Amino acid sequence: MPAILSLVKRFAPHRGWALEIASGTGQHIVALAAAVPELIWQPSDVDPSRLKSIKIWINEKKRDNVEPPILLDATETGWSKVNNQYDLIFVSNLLHLVSREEAEILITEISRALAPDGMAILYGPFKRQGELSSQGDIDFHQSIIEADPALGYKNDADILGQFAQRGLMHKQTENMPANNLSFVFQKN
């Protein structure tokens, strides 16, 4: 988590609203909110049962810059129309768990939900130039596609191309712990 927090701190705007897509238990949102207290953070998740856990984390850590969590399926078309425009959108460990079509919808909706000059940060496991770069990645990707062939690691070049097609400028790609990558984009 320290590497993610460092990256987010470097690229986060100095004020505004931030959306975390797929907040899970809520552990990351409170760490992000503590690391970048200038932003008002909006946690979200597709699973209603996780919203309770997120609320518990927020209350336990007493983060007054975190809004109550919202139910959000970020792979459905149109969610950007019913939510605020965000100055930062953070997505961690999601793209390998959705189909290619769902990833494209997610990227389109992120581009629409970002305010002008807004930043998007993605973190997770990705193929590098179409290749899996470690035995751990090969094994994990295989276990995912055995469960559902539509899922699995996405190619880094495809992600860069999809964001570019939607008007987001690639600012940085960083190697992260556990053989993950982070991508940083800015809305033009």
What digits encode the pLDDT tens for the residues 11-23? 999 999 999 999 9
Structure tokens at 4: 């993610």
| CATH fold label, 2-187 | Rossmann fold (3.40.50)
pLDDT at 153: 98
Q: Rounded to whole angstroms, how far apart are CA atoms 44 and 177?
A: 24
* Closest by CA position to 111, among listed 166, 170, 188, 158: 166
Query: For the chain, where are the alpha helices, taking DSSP H only?
Result: 2-11, 27-35, 48-61, 100-113, 135-147, 156-165
State mean pLDDT over 28-51: 97
User: Strand 86-92 and strand 168-176: pairing?
Assistant: unpaired
Task: Answer for the pair 115, 83: CB distance below 8 angstroms, yes or no.
Answer: no
Every domain of the chain and the residues it spans: 2-187
The per-residue pLDDT for range 116-156, each reduced to its tens digit, is 999 999 999 999 999 999 999 999 999 999 999 999 999 99
